[in-house]
Amino acid sequence: MSLVELIAQADERGLAASGLACLDRCVPLLGGDDEVLRPLWANLADGGEAGEWGGLLDKARAQLGVGDVVRAEDAEDEAALLVRRMLAAAPGVRSAAEARVWADGCSVASLQIHRLLDPAEDDAASIDSRRAGSTDGMSPLVAAELRRQITVLELFAEHGTGGLRRALEVSTEGRRVLRAVVSRRARLA
């Protein structure tokens, strides 16, 4: 199943986890520590109150210095701007309709961030073809991010909140990879 199909079929928690995982993997671009989004992850577990999502989100935004409106001139580079926009666009209410729009947007933004940071060329004209299942000529960093996005959605589809721990592990792995890429780019600059 393509990433687009998985997003279309996901439930509210799966969608929230998908968007959160994309954001979590990209937090190194904002200089955030590994724990800043942990309360939002915990909110997705059984017993997590959907009504608390907005307050936890506001706290994460404050810790990462992201306001509700993010302008291009405020960002240090395009990749960091995309991360700031992902966080700014996160819905204050954890509902399926809003989470679907956010998860879809985060998916596109995260793949674009990985494409911007990958030194290898990606042959696709757009990220949309990658999300629909076309993987020919895909750059390694983008391919790995696409696999992670699919894995998170499949974990929630198959296991519900039982897939939360594994989804967090997948996200942590991706965050380490992106942190290494960012560090390498800084050394070469």
pLDDT per residue over 145-182, tens digit each? 999 999 999 999 999 999 999 999 999 999 999 999 98
- Dist CA 185 CA 170 (whole Å): 23
In three-state secondary structure terms, 46 is: coil
pLDDT per residue over 47-84, tens digit each? 999 899 999 999 999 998 875 445 555 445 889 889 99
- Which secondary-structure segment (H or E) carries 171? helix 164-188
Packing angle between helix 12-26 and helix 78-89, nearest 10 degrees?
Answer: 150
Residues contacting 72, CB < 8 A, separation 6+? 81
Angle at 165 between CA 85 and CA 116, to 5 degrees: 35
pLDDT per residue over 111-153, tens digit each? 999 999 988 887 777 788 888 887 788 889 999 999 999 999 9
pLDDT at residue 72 in the model: 52
- Please state the pTM of the whole predicted model: 0.92
- Dist CA 185 CA 149 (whole Å): 24
